[in-house]
Structure 1
Amino acid sequence: MPVEQIDDPSVKIKPPSKLIHFVRKNIDVAEAPTGLRALKKSHKSAVPLKIEDIKWLNDFLIEHRKISSTKVYIHELLEGADVILPQPKITPRNPVLEARIQKLTAQQSTREYEAMTKGVDAVRKHYPEDTISYQMKEINKQLIAVAQFVFSVIAAFAFGFIGLELIVGSLDFGFRLLLGIICGLIVALAEIYFLAKKLNEDCWEPPPPKVFTKPHQE
């Protein structure tokens, strides 16, 4: 699924109970950064801390070990802490697009399964697309589409180059050539659009399930 930009890229840490107890007992609210002040004032244990808060707490512990007989280190307080990584927002996919993708995936899976098992099952061994006549028909369809595209562009160019002169009157050769190219490009773009639309609609449909009948009556 498509994802959006991350609003807050900072990594946060969910403090364990040992760190919470130390902060509430030894940290001065006036000197502490925002995250530690919120942790000290809050009665909830799930107040996440940022990396800046952990750096400040480490500096505080360095000074605290100089004046205190109890030596506390940052790794001891962070033991058992959970790291909260930034998560991007997931944009839900368009239902029409999702249905289209599911349909194409199912068709592709069916096509792969039929191609894999047609050599085992004698009933499904031959398909119309495996015959030469089917391949020739497909080639003819492609050739007709290309020929139609070429003839349409040539006819549009001829209309702009010759037809407009017959309608309007005598025109300069360069202007006639420009008109022919413009008409040809317009028709070419239109033909490409309709050709792409037609190819998009011609999706392969899975063959209908075969009904097997008994050759004799019981």
Structure 2
Amino acid sequence: MASECRVTEPLLWALRELRSGFTPGSSAAVQDVLDRGAGSCVPFSVLRELHTLLRERGSQIYLHELLEGSEIHLPVVALPERNPQLVARLEKIKAKLANEEYKRITKNVTCQSNRQGTLADLGRQVRPLKTIIITIFNFLVTIAAAFACTYIGSQYVFTESAGRILSSVIVASFVGLAELYVLVRTMEGQLGEL
């Protein structure tokens, strides 16, 4: 943390004028600053005493006017040297993490270049096709069952065959549309998970 400020000419002038009012501990620091001249560093404790002296004497010059153009002196922080064992351990951990990342990225890459693929690959490719075939078969069976149930059940309402077929087609169409709606919503959900 900063504890000093670089001196400018107006601040040197104020320190020369009020040199006699400082405490013995601060007057040595003031004399040292006056000997070095502009660009030297003055501690904040001296600046606090200077501010008190300016207020006691009722001066028309304020401390912020004297500090204008000054800059805070920040001491250089010496960074400690890194422990070689720690550096070696960190490098080892980095290498291990990089190796794990590489293995994660390349876990599904095979080094065999056969054109047919393995049985596991074939199973993965057939599974979606199997699901689609079962879904289409289920769709067709549902429509056929709706048609058959309506045709058989409508014999009590209609005496003619044309009325029975027409009502069966209408019911099968509604069931088919409902099944299609459910199918589309299901497929949309499965595509969203991919």
Please indicate the TM-score interval, normalised by the length of the shorter structure.
0.3 to 0.5
Structure of higher CA gyration radius = 2
More helix by share: 2
